[in-house]
């Protein structure tokens, strides 16, 4: 696809509205000049331009520097639609609703645990069910499932799967009031009832890290981070339940779109008006799946805390929650558009909130610094904790990237990389690997992903988030 890129800033590029007849707004790409060609390697740019056709889309559709091809929307995309005449599109959230990242902080340093990393990794692997089809320890009735879907982490709190103040450090407190379990199909409920507290497969993981470098001392102190500290990342989402919710509503919306007079360049962008009964039903079901995902990460946190205590004892202190961010979700937010404050529906697919200092939705303890943004690198490389900046509210509807972003497909990675060799390479680098699938390990090799350093540099140069600390992996637990 041949297009002209207009340079808005050193790291923001725009495809003009008139490039395709169906475009309602321009398309924007956050990327360095060296990275710009990567959106042409697959269908990322085509999909981004298609997103601009959505009825009621505001300002522009955009992708972050970690963008790659997805279903409907590219992964790494952000788009806001008007609440009165705009649409909601399941393809703008994705199949793994509220896939997200959580980071736990320990009181121990790398030196405290370096001789027991293998023991810790094996204990976490034992406690956190991982892999395709693995069941969790919690088996829920329909009544209890409805409570999880409607209340999210408030249910986990009532069942004592939390520790003091956990909910304060979860986006939206781990519970969306817009959730309605009755909008979720029985098939979706059945797929999820035994999956709470499970990681799944693919790019999901639990990773033990140490703080390798601090870029901003003040912000690091506010976040409770210090050099060489041991922290743990959790990356997973709504499992089979969220996938089924997406499947149910995408199928419905493909047939409904023409009835609402909606014509799209790609049926994968299937959507309906937000204000329609079907739009409201999907939003309620998506919110319920998001609640399920937050609860899932909360139960995994509970499991990791048990494993941690088993290895290091009660005297090792607590694993406290730094933050938990969603990166596949749509949320109603207030943004300034053309000088006017408006409520809009922000679709984020492979993108996270990056609200700046002073924003009312930033946890009070972090409000002078900005919202923590958790950016995992590819397995075996660095991860980052960022802080949201004011530029995010100007340029990206309060959003930033969510990770490194794939460079090659899983099939291509399996053809080029051997899982056993990769495991040995990572072990030689001091990274302990616990996995049930060497094939799955190969799919997630560092070579299959973009350079996370370059991705983070772009969002910092764009003024939407800044680097606070850099994390180095010491153990990776996968399905």
Model pTM score:
0.97
What Cα–Cα distance (Å) separates residue 404 from each residue in 43, 83, 345, 387, 422? 18, 31, 25, 17, 19
Average pLDDT over residues 202-228: 97
- Beta-strand runs (E) in 270-420: 272-273, 320-326, 328-337, 340-349, 352-353, 372-375, 383-388, 399-400
Task: Give the pLDDT band of residue 343 (cuts 50, 70, 90).
Answer: very high
Structure token digits, residue 437: 């699938």
CA 461 to chain centre: 21
pLDDT at residue 131 in the model: 84
Residue 133 has pLDDT above 80, yes or no: no
Residue 260 has pLDDT above 90, yes or no: yes
pLDDT at residue 378 in the model: 86
Q: What tens digit of pLDDT does each residue of 149-186 get?
A: 999 999 999 999 999 899 999 999 999 999 999 999 99
pLDDT at residue 81 in the model: 98
pLDDT at residue 135 in the model: 87
Q: What tens digit of pLDDT does each residue of 7-17 get?
A: 999 999 999 99
Q: What tens digit of pLDDT does each residue of 303-342 get?
A: 999 999 999 998 888 999 999 999 999 999 999 999 999 9
pLDDT at residue 314 in the model: 86
Alpha carbons within 13 A on the beta-carbon side of 127: 20
Active-site residue 402, yes or no?
yes
Task: Give the pLDDT band of residue 148 (cuts 50, 70, 90).
Answer: very high
- pLDDT averaged over every residue in the chain: 96
Q: What tens digit of pLDDT does each residue of 378-387 get?
A: 888 999 999 9
Task: Give the pLDDT band of residue 208 (cuts 50, 70, 90).
Answer: very high
CA 344 to chain centre: 20
pLDDT at residue 379 in the model: 85
pLDDT at residue 207 in the model: 97
pLDDT at residue 347 in the model: 98
pLDDT at residue 479 in the model: 83
As a whole number of Å, the CA-based R_g of the chain is 21
Torsion of Cα atoms, 161 then 166 then 167 then 170, to 10°: -110
* pLDDT over 70, % of the chain: 100
Q: Which of 204, 235, 359, 402 is catalytic?
A: 402
> Across the strands, what pairs with 9?
12
Domain architecture of the chain: domains with CATH: 6-407+449-478 (3.90.1860.10)
């Amino acid at each position: 696809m041949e297009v002209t890129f207009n340079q808005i800033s050193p790291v923001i590029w725009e495809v003009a509205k008139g490039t395709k007849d169906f475009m309602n707004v321009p398309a924007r790409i956050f990327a360095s000049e060296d990275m710009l060609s990567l959106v042409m390697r697959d269908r990322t740019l085509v999909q981004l331009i298609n997103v601009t056709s959505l009825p009621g889309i505001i300002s522009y559709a955009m992708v972050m520097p970690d963008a790659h091809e997805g279903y409907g929307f590219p992964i790494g995309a952000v788009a806001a639609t008007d609440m009165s005449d705009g649409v909601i599109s399941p393809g703008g959230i994705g199949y793994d609703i509220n896939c997200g990242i959580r980071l736990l902080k320990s009181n121990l340093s790398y030196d405290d645990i370096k001789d027991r990393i293998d023991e810790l990794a094996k204990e976490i692997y034992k406690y956190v069910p991982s892999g395709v089809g693995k069941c969790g320890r919690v088996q829920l009735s329909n009544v209890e499932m409805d409570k999880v879907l409607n209340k999210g982490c408030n249910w986990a709190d009532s069942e004592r799967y939390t520790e003091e103040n956990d909910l304060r450090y979860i986006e939206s407190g781990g519970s969306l009031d817009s959730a309605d379990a009755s909008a979720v199909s029985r098939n979706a409920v059945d797929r999820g009832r035994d999956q709470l507290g499970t990681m799944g497969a693919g790019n999901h993981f639990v990773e033990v890290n140490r703080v390798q470098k601090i870029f901003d001392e003040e912000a690091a102190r506010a976040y409770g981070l210090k050099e060489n500290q041991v922290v743990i990342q959790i990356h997973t989402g709504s499992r089979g339940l969220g996938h089924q919710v997406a499947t149910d509503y995408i199928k419905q919306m493909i047939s409904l779109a023409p009835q609402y007079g909606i014509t799209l360049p790609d049926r994968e962008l299937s959507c309906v008006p937000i204000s329609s009964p079907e739009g409201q039903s999907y939003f309620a079901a998506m919110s319920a799946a998001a609640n399920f995902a937050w609860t899932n990460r909360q139960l995994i946190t509970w499991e990791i805390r048990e494993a941690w205590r088993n290895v290091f004892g009660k005297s090792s202190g607590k694993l406290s929650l730094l933050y938990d961010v969603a990166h596949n979700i749509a949320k109603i937010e207030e943004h300034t558009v053309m000088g006017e404050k408006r409520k809009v529906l922000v679709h984020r697919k492979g993108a996270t909130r990056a609200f700046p200092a002073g924003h009312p939705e930033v946890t009070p303890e972090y409000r002078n610094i900005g919202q923590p943004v958790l950016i995992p690198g590819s397995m075996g490389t660095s991860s980052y904790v960022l802080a949201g900046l004011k530029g995010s509210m100007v340029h990206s509807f309060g959003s930033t990237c969510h990770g490194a972003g794939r460079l090659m497909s899983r099939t291509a990675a399996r053809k080029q990389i051997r899982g056993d060799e990769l495991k040995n390479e990572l072990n030689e680098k001091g990274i302990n690997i616990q996995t049930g699938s060497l094939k799955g390990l190969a799919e997630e090799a560092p070579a299959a992903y973009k350079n996370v350093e370059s991705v983070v540099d772009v969002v910092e140069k764009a003024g939407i988030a800044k680097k606070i600390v850099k994390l180095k992996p010491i153990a990776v637990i996968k399905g």
